[in-house]
């Protein structure tokens, strides 16, 4: 087992949190980014200790423009009403706070039919294609890197209301 895997499985970064990292996370990239920007991740881990029941939907700055949180509420969607997406400038940490949804995951190098990248929104969509799906609930957070095409907000068994936290971390401080 490599250093990154040992670190991840030791959960030393996760002390005093009520949530766990989802096993789908790219451990090597997670380890590298946490160790490259420890102050950013410390602010993220501190924010994850918040009482989210008292936080309203909106944007919460954590570290300048490099790290910020967004809380939103929405109804989960069908696959036909949702697209695969990827980001180049920011990493997504996603945590369902209330409710449950399915999230798709697909390696970028296997994604086909990309739409044009929107640099202002840091967003690129991809057409329908197979991927791996995981149920997201309040006990696990997901981390999506630029190499991870993801599909959040999907119905588990019919439409349901979800309250969700997305923390955006810049890929670099350039």
Between helix 38-47 and helix 27-36 the angle, nearest 10°, is 110
Token readout for 48 is: 């994850």
pLDDT of 13-26, one tens digit each? 777 788 999 999 99
- Tell me what pLDDT residue 146 has: 97
For 10-160, list the strands marked E by DSSP.
20-21, 58-63, 67-75, 84-86, 90-98, 101-107, 124-126, 132-136, 140-144, 148-154
- Tell me what pLDDT residue 10 has: 84
- Tell me what pLDDT residue 31 has: 94
- Tell me what pLDDT residue 7 has: 86
- Tell me what pLDDT residue 13 has: 77
Q: Which of 136, 129, 88, 93 is nearest to 111 (CA)?
A: 129
- Tell me what pLDDT residue 107 has: 96
Q: Where are the domains of the chain?
A: 3-170
- Tell me what pLDDT residue 14 has: 77
Q: Burial, 17: exposed, middle or buried (Cβ in 10 Å; 0-12, 13-18, 19+)? A: middle
Task: Give mean pLDDT in consecutive 10-residue pieces for the chain, a chain of 174 residues.
Answer: 86 82 95 96 94 94 97 97 96 98 97 94 94 95 97 95 98 84
Cα–Cα distances (Å) from 144 to 5, 56, 83, in that order, read 17, 24, 15
CATH 3.40.50.300 matches 3-170:
no
Q: How far apart are alpha carbons 54 and 29 in whole angstroms?
A: 32
What pTM value is reported for the model? Answer: 0.94
- Tell me what pLDDT residue 59 has: 97
């Amino acid at each position: 087992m490599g250093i990154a895997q040992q670190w991840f499985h030791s959960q030393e970064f996760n002390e005093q949190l009520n949530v766990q990292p989802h096993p789908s996370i790219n451990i090597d990239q997670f380890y590298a980014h946490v160790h490259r920007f420890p102050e950013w991740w410390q602010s993220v881990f501190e924010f994850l200790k918040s009482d989210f029941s008292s936080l309203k939907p909106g944007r919460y700055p954590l570290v300048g423009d490099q790290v910020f949180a967004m809380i939103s509420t929405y109804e989960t969607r069908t696959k036909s009403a949702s697209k695969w997406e990827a980001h180049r400038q920011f990493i997504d940490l996603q945590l369902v706070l209330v409710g449950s949804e399915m999230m798709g995951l697909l390696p970028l190098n296997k994604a086909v039919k990309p739409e044009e990248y929107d640099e202002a929104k840091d967003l690129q969509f991809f057409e329908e294609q197979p991927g791996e799906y995981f149920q997201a609930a309040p006990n696990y957070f997901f981390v999506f890197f630029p190499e991870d095409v993801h599909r959040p907000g999907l119905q588990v068994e019919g439409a349901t209301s979800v309250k969700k936290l997305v923390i955006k971390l810049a890929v670099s401080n350039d």
